[in-house]
């Protein structure tokens, strides 16, 4: 056998197999998408199929609800009528804001408890509120209680419910907004002369702040 000639014929095959082997042992690089590069390829499942947690409510809303809840807790557990009324005033002011009805120093102690620049609910003339329809269906249903296109009318409905309220006739369930019901109970607490009654009204208010919180944070 002529080994040099045989080796010469086999050399191209050896080189070809060497190139194939080297390519197989190297890293696999995916083809770049059209018009892009390999750096733009995401390894893993598309973001669109990932589970996304519900967006948390803005801190300002959560802090406002916490302040209202704290005021209601002090109101319903007050040791004297002065403390109960101050706490009821605070809860009411935090809900209505400076543009809403009933805002101010209701217990006449020279201090506006719960003073703020904006209410949880819209003002009488539609002043900005902390909560908005965009915050979710439960907020619209339980917190805003429907449309506020006519804010003065919404507040006048509360006025009528407060005027019509009696011990034997609770008119507040007619109000779709739970914060407005808190305002109603706070107004009764501020007008009573007995601590047991004020604390009882605070117990009702607690139910409504709980529903309000759930509508904002868990719906």
pLDDT tens figures, 30-53: 333 333 333 332 333 333 333 333
Which residue, 174, 176, 200, is CA-closest to 189?
200
Classified as helix, coil or strand, 119 is strand
Q: Tally the domains of the chain.
A: 1
**54 part of a folded domain:** no
Segments of the chain with pLDDT less than 70: 1-57
**100 part of a folded domain:** yes
The Cα–Cα gap between 130 and 147 comes to 15
Residues 130-139 have pLDDT tens digits of 999 999 999 9
**155 part of a folded domain:** yes
CB 126 within 8 Å of CB 151: yes
Q: pTM for this structure?
A: 0.74
**5 part of a folded domain:** no
What DSSP element (H or E) covers 202? helix 195-217
**85 part of a folded domain:** yes
Phi, psi of 169 (to 5 degrees): -140, 95
Phi, psi of 95 (to 5 degrees): -85, -50
**78 part of a folded domain:** yes
pLDDT reported for residue 23: 42
182: its two tokens = 């808190």
Residue 186 C-alpha from the chain's centroid: 23
The Cα–Cα gap between 123 and 103 comes to 10
The Cα–Cα gap between 70 and 151 comes to 27
**41 part of a folded domain:** no
Q: What angle do CA 148, 152, 154 make, to 5 degrees?
A: 55
CA–CA distance from 39 to each of 28, 29, 34 (Å)? Answer: 14, 11, 13
176: its two tokens = 């779709």
pLDDT reported for residue 58: 74
The Cα–Cα gap between 192 and 36 comes to 73
Q: Which domain holds residue 140?
A: 59-217
Residue partners of 74: CB distance under 8 A and separation at least 6: 83, 87
**97 part of a folded domain:** yes
pLDDT reported for residue 57: 59
Phi, psi of 112 (to 5 degrees): -90, 100
> Environment class of residue 213 by beta-carbon count within 10 Å: exposed (0-12), middle (13-18) or buried (19+)?
buried
Give the length of the chain: 219
Residues 87-109 have pLDDT tens digits of 999 999 999 999 999 999 999 99
């Amino acid at each position: 056998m002529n080994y040099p000639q045989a080796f010469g014929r086999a050399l191209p095959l050896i080189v070809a197999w060497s190139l194939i082997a080297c390519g197989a042992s190297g890293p696999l690089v995916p083809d770049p998408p059209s018009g892009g590069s390999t750096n733009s390829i995401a390894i893993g499942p598309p973001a669109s199929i990932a589970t996304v947690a519900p967006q948390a409510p803005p801190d300002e809303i959560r802090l406002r609800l916490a302040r209202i809840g704290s005021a209601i807790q002090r109101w319903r557990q007050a040791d004297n009528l002065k403390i109960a009324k101050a706490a009821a005033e605070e809860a009411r002011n935090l809900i209505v804001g400076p543009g809403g009805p009933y805002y101010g120093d209701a217990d006449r102690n020279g201090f506006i408890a719960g003073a703020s620049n904006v209410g949880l609910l819209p003002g009488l003339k539609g002043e900005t509120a902390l909560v908005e329809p965009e915050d979710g269906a439960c907020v619209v249903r339980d917190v805003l209680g429907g449309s506020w296109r006519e804010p003065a009318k919404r507040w006048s409905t509360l006025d009528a419910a407060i005027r019509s309220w009696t011990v034997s006739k609770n008119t507040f369930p007619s109000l779709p907004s739970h914060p407005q019901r808190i305002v109603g109970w706070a107004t009764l607490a501020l007008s009573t002369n007995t601590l047991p009654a004020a604390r009882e009204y605070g117990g009702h208010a607690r139910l409504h702040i709980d529903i309000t919180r759930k509508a904002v944070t868990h719906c």
